[in-house]
Amino acid sequence: MRRLMLFGLALPLLAAFATLSAGTAAANPMGLFVNNEVCAANGTVQAYLHWTPDSAGQQFVDLSARNDNFTSAYSTGGPYTIGQAQAQLTQLKPNTSYYLRVSTLLGTEFLRSATLKYTTRSCAGAPATPPTGTASPPSNLQAAAFSATAARLQWVPGNGNVYFCVDFAKSTSDLLNLTGTWRNSGCGTTAYSHVVTGLSCGTTYYVRVWTSAGGGLYSPLRTLKTYSCATAISPPTNLAVVFTTTTTARLDWDAGKDNRWFCIDTAKTQADLLSFNGTWRNHGCWTTNTQLTIDGLSCETLYYWRVYAWNPIANVHSSTSTFKTDDCDSGLVKAPIEDVNVAKVGADYYATIVVGKPDTCHSFGSYSSEVLGNIIKLTVLNSVAADGVCTDVYSTYTLVINLGHSFFSGVTYVVVVNDEESDAFTAD
């Protein structure tokens, strides 16, 4: 069997396509019936299958020549959109019974319709399908890769064409003979464009579009080449520190060859940095810039850092460098902590901290964090105005810190703030 679709099938030679899921459900979609039967010029029957869709997911049509509940070889057409309510059947044998059903893919399970038995008409002496204009193949095929593994094709449909299929192969011989590296994609689409995925990087492909009209017509052949496999990817270089403060650092680097996205790794020891443990953190992942400001650092602390870079094919780390945050300001002091509460919001966990201000000269200064096993240590510092006029009035403010989501499911973590207050949570 040439294609995984209903249109243009030589049904007496049904291929053994495997059922996509063994799950079944109530008869839904419903209301299957066949009409508009005509005899084609080659003596086969054409007709339309209609149904009432349930609008729950992609749809497929199964057709079998045997009444065995689709346990042996059968053909599958689709996928069809959630609202589509008909499909054309072609190349059916006259005076022959077929069995049809419509399936809706819902998650990983299929909702199956009841099976419809349909017996084709006789075509003896019947006129052929009335011509509606001479069928012509698709034309003006345009094909271009947009990544290392995907390409987009678009075309002009031609006369009398409704359903299309994209053929591609790594050689013209395989493409023309439907062998070897030949594959097809998007079969049954009614659109005039299609994205092919799963291609090999850095590879030239030969492509064309097939349509069911006229017994099967092809567009002219075209070539496309996917993006490079980027085997020559090189690490970022020239790591530099633009500036530091007591709790922040702005870092800069050169991209390296064929890198698209970046992420900064930091740690308080080189061992933690290289093993992704202990004090290791990453910052700004998926940035496309080559400069980044990171915060939440500890004052007067030496940090080891490097740049992680990647593209759709490969990834690489830069060499390791260091920076040191500014000396701890004498105007920064540990703040009294009134309460800590940890809650999950979306995918991340957040620590909500009630922080004390002993007088009106205290205000929020900075915070830093450190993970030691299942202990998350937070340090919150207040800034104290050196020459301010202070009123001896105690007050509080609320600080919310995003703890992230890089936790092991089922493990209980304890969040300790300034060694005074703590709360715990179990990651899910």
**231 inside domain:** no
Q: How far apart are CA 104 and CA 70, in angstroms?
A: 16
C-alpha pair distances (Å), 385 with each of 244, 261, 297: 22, 41, 22
Find the DSSP H helices in 26-94: none
Residues 102-118 have a mean pLDDT of 83
Of residues 191, 186, 129, 132, the one with CA closest to residue 160: 132
Q: How far apart are CA 158 and CA 215, in angstroms?
A: 14
115 & 29 share domain:
yes
Among 225, 248, 283, residue at a domain's last position: 225
Q: What is the pLDDT of residue 378?
A: 92
Top pLDDT among 177 and 229 is at 177
Residues 320-333 have a mean pLDDT of 83
Q: Find the domain containing 72 and state its range.
A: 11-119
Q: By three-state DSSP, how is residue 183 classified? A: strand
318 & 365 share domain:
no
pTM above 0.75, yes or no: no
246 & 305 share domain:
yes
Q: What is the pLDDT of residue 103?
A: 86
Q: Is the dihedral of CA 356, 359, 365, 368 positive or negative?
A: negative
CB 264 within 8 A of CB 305: yes
Q: How many domains does the chain have?
A: 4
**131 inside domain:** no
Only one residue has tokens 């023309």, namely 176
55 & 99 share domain:
yes
Q: How far apart are CA 44 and CA 417, in angstroms?
A: 79
Judge whether residue 4 has pLDDT over 50: no
Residues 6 or more apart in contact with residue 275 via CB below 8 angstroms: none
CB 383 within 8 A of CB 363: yes
115 & 15 share domain:
yes
CB 218 within 8 A of CB 168: no
289 & 347 share domain:
no
Instruction: Report the share of the chain in percent with pLDDT over 70.
Output: 88
Locate 415 and state its tokens.
């969040």
Q: What is the pLDDT of residue 314?
A: 79
CB 122 within 8 A of CB 38: no
CA dihedral 308, 309, 311, 314 (to 10 degrees): -60
**Which of 11-15, 37-41, 94-98, 416-420 is least confident?**
11-15
Of residues 260, 34, 96, 262, the one with CA closest to residue 252: 262
320 & 336 share domain:
no
**232 inside domain:** no
| Per-residue confidence band for 167, with pLDDT thresholds at 50, 70 and 90 | very high
| Per-residue confidence band for 297, with pLDDT thresholds at 50, 70 and 90 | confident
Judge whether residue 388 has pLDDT over 90: no
Peptide bond into 79 cis (omega under 30): yes
**64 inside domain:** yes
Q: How far apart are CA 371 and CA 278, in angstroms?
A: 6
CB 20 within 8 A of CB 105: yes
**276 inside domain:** yes
Q: Which helix (H) or strand (E) holds 174?
A: helix 172-177
Peptide bond into 157 cis (omega under 30): no
C-alpha pair distances (Å), 145 with each of 106, 162, 196, 203, 399: 31, 25, 9, 10, 48
24 & 111 share domain:
yes
Q: How far apart are CA 41 and CA 38, in angstroms?
A: 10
Q: What is the mean pLDDT of the chain?
A: 82
Q: What is the pLDDT of residue 133?
A: 54
Q: What is the pLDDT of residue 20?
A: 31
Among 225, 248, 281, residue at a domain's last position: 225
41 & 88 share domain:
yes
249 & 221 share domain:
no
**1 inside domain:** no
**63 inside domain:** yes
CATH number for the domain spanning 41: value is 2.60.40.10
CA dihedral 387, 390, 396, 398 (to 10 degrees): -20
313 & 347 share domain:
no
Q: How far apart are CA 191 and CA 155, in angstroms?
A: 9
101 & 159 share domain:
no
**Which of 11-15, 114-118, 189-193, 424-428 is least confident?**
11-15
Q: What is the pLDDT of residue 337?
A: 94
**129 inside domain:** no
Find the DSSP H helices in 262-413: 270-275
Judge whether residue 34 has pLDDT over 90: no
Q: How far is CA 427 from the centre of its chain?
A: 25
Summarised one tens digit per residue, pLDDT across range 216-254 is 789 999 999 988 776 667 899 999 999 888 788 999 999
C-alpha pair distances (Å), 124 with each of 37, 101, 134, 252: 14, 28, 24, 80
